[in-house]
Amino acid sequence: MSSPTDQNTTHFGYKDVPLNEKVKLVADVFRSVAPKYDLMNDVMSFGLHRLWKRFTIAKADLRAGHIVLDVASGTGDLAIAFAKIVGTTGKVIMTDINEAMLQVGRERVEDAGIIGNINCIQANAESLPFQPNYFDCISIAFGLRNVTNKSAALASMYRILKPGGKLLILEFSHPTIPMLNKLYDSYSFHVIPKMGELIANDKASYQYLVESIRMHPDQETLKTMMMQAGFEDVNYFNLSGGIVALHMGYKY
């Protein structure tokens, strides 16, 4: 596994790439996987991603009238669920840097019959185009690991969160059970790329996704990064033995 050789490079999976190229490379991945994204999520996780998201929705503890931002919203699972909770007096904004993913999300919102309280905006998580102290809750699910500058993204989300507001980060993490870790590695590197080849006709993108998970900070490191960005009462919940973790933090 390599590490960046200087401040002008960053990780793209296990490869080192120039900082200014990662956004395009990640965009190409998600442009390719967008049409089969939901199907692949179900297949790869054996449907568990729905339980992980349900847990996140419960921990968001939203109420009618809340204003919510879902960063890297993708196909909109969380945003649609949030919109049903906050109701017509609330508002949900979906953002994604990738137009192909956001378009799939728009279509799913329309299919769900939700009109009026969801807006879709193409935006970079590192520089979110919203006023300070605006959102009651911000979520980012399975998106932070693809962000080039994670610290900048955390700072951006902190800036636009209201005092008393909550950030939820649902992301693949590092298994905490040794035997599970070995099984997970074997499944990830030998099975998932093959699934990507057979179902989405794209082995390379799913190879990147597996590698990006391994390069993402572990639970304690991400907790520290959130605290450094200003979040308080930061905690995390290991799900499925740490394969996924939900981090939570507050702005006071």
Query: What would the pLDDT profile of 28-72 be if each residue is shown by its tens digit?
Result: 777 777 788 788 888 889 899 999 999 999 999 999 999 999 999
CA-based nearest residue to 230, from 129, 150, 157, 143: 157
Cα distance between residue 242 and residue 183, in whole Å = 13
The verdict on pTM exceeding 0.95 is no
- Residues 203 and 193 sit within 8 Å (Cβ to Cβ): yes
Cα distance between residue 201 and residue 246, in whole Å = 30
Average pLDDT of span 186-206: 89
Of 3-17, 108-122, 157-171, 237-251, least confident by mean pLDDT is 3-17
The residue ranges of every structural domain in the chain are 15-250
Phi, psi of 245 (to 5 degrees): -135, 145
pLDDT at 5: 45
Phi, psi of 198 (to 5 degrees): -75, -40
Domain covering 15-250, topology: Rossmann fold (3.40.50)
Which residues, including other chains, have CB under 8 Å from residue 249's CB and lie 6 or more apart?
A: 166, 167, 226, 227, 231, 232, 233, 234, 235
Give the tens place of pLDDT for each residue, 220-234: 999 999 999 999 999
pLDDT at 6: 56
What interhelical angle do 99-111 and 19-33 show, nearest 10? 40
